Amino acid sequence: MCTRSIPSSWTAFAIATPWPAKDDRRDAFVAADALRTDWGAFRRLHAEDPRLLQVRELSRVHAELIEEHGRLTNRLREQLWRFYPQLLALSPAADEPRLWALLERAPTPVQGRRLTLSAVRALLARHRIRRLAAEAVRGALQEAALPVAAGTVEAASEHVGLLLPRLQLIHAQRMRCERRLELLLEQLATPTAGEDPEEHRDVTILRSLPGVGRVVAATMLAEASRPLAARDYQTLRAHAGAAPVTRQSGKSRIVSMRRACNRRLRSAIFHWARNSIRLDAHSRAHYQRLRTRHGHARALRGVADRLLGVLITMLRTRTLYDPERRQRNAA
């Protein structure tokens, strides 16, 4: 049996000993005595599915890659504003591989103006870009260059040349992480020989909800595997930051946002709620009701809180999400 204490509670146990006296034997005694007298402050740890450990690691790496991708694209965009702003009309965020390929082919405005229409068409075809017409791309390249001080184009274009390989590497690693996460989620949803199919239904149930994509599902399973397995709604909403914090004394009552939570989980349910109000009529109606009294972020947390309750109910009843069920029950 393995147990783990909550760090904030551990401080309360240590206060019972004379301060500032401290040694390893006293710490060991406090730990053993706390386990004996305050069993409710500890929780049992169980070995997890090895694939869940992989999902957790890959989902965290994926989040780090997204952050690094954002930092590098911000730097690229700022460099393009210095000497090549016409390219930003094709990709305002400078975060698309098609722009990087164009910069490799024409790293300066002078070289961009020299590209022929056939060369632009070949570049778009090679990267399977149909959203942009070759004429529009060449028109942007033909725009007058921004007048800058001597040496600015050479310096900025060399800086861009150093950023592009890093962006391409980050993009490739991000795509690889997403493919691996998708494969692991499929494996978690598929029982092997001798396993109970019901034990692998959680992934299918989770992904049936509107707004739950690959990344949200992976983050939920990786960061909240215990509350999901225990069908513990209160713990799940607290860990995800959806449950508000209430401070009440006498006639004073203050309700505020919960900040002590799992940040990855909070980000996942935020994106889940934001997608669900676009895809699901019930979530959208609940969001609109909350918006009459609260701001956007508070309304999204309310939607996320309700979705977590729906998810736990679905897990308990082993049912997939059915948007028509509420209408049938109301009728």
Domain boundaries, the chain: 3-44, 51-184, 201-245+260-323
Q: Compute how many other C-beta atoms are within 10 angstroms of the C-beta atom of residue 67.
A: 11
**pLDDT recorded at residue 328:** 62
The radius of gyration of the chain from alpha carbons, rounded to an integer in Å, stands at 27
**pLDDT recorded at residue 323:** 84
Q: Model pTM greater than 0.85?
A: no
| Alpha-carbon dihedral sign for residues 287, 293, 297, 299 | negative
End-to-end CA separation in angstroms for the chain: 51
pLDDT digits (tens, 9 = 90+) for 78-111: 999 999 999 998 999 999 998 999 999 999 999 9
The answer to whether 253 touches 246, Cβ cutoff 8 Å, is yes
Check pLDDT > 70 for residue 331.
no
3-state secondary structure of 190: coil
Name the residue type at position 6: I
pLDDT digits (tens, 9 = 90+) for 194-237: 666 666 689 999 999 999 999 999 999 999 999 999 999 999 99
pLDDT digits (tens, 9 = 90+) for 268-318: 999 999 999 999 999 999 999 999 999 999 999 999 999 999 999 999 999
Check pLDDT > 80 for residue 67.
yes
88 φ, ψ (degrees, to nearest 5) = -70, -15
Check pLDDT > 50 for residue 148.
yes
pLDDT digits (tens, 9 = 90+) for 6-65: 455 556 666 555 656 667 888 788 878 888 888 877 777 778 888 999 999 999 999 999
**Cα separation values, 102 from 31, 69, 83, 133, 202, Å:** 62, 18, 15, 14, 44
**pLDDT recorded at residue 1:** 45
The answer to whether 87 touches 99, Cβ cutoff 8 Å, is yes
Check pLDDT > 50 for residue 257.
yes
pLDDT digits (tens, 9 = 90+) for 159-168: 999 999 999 9
**pLDDT recorded at residue 270:** 97
**pLDDT recorded at residue 144:** 84
CATH class of this structure's domain 51-184: mainly alpha
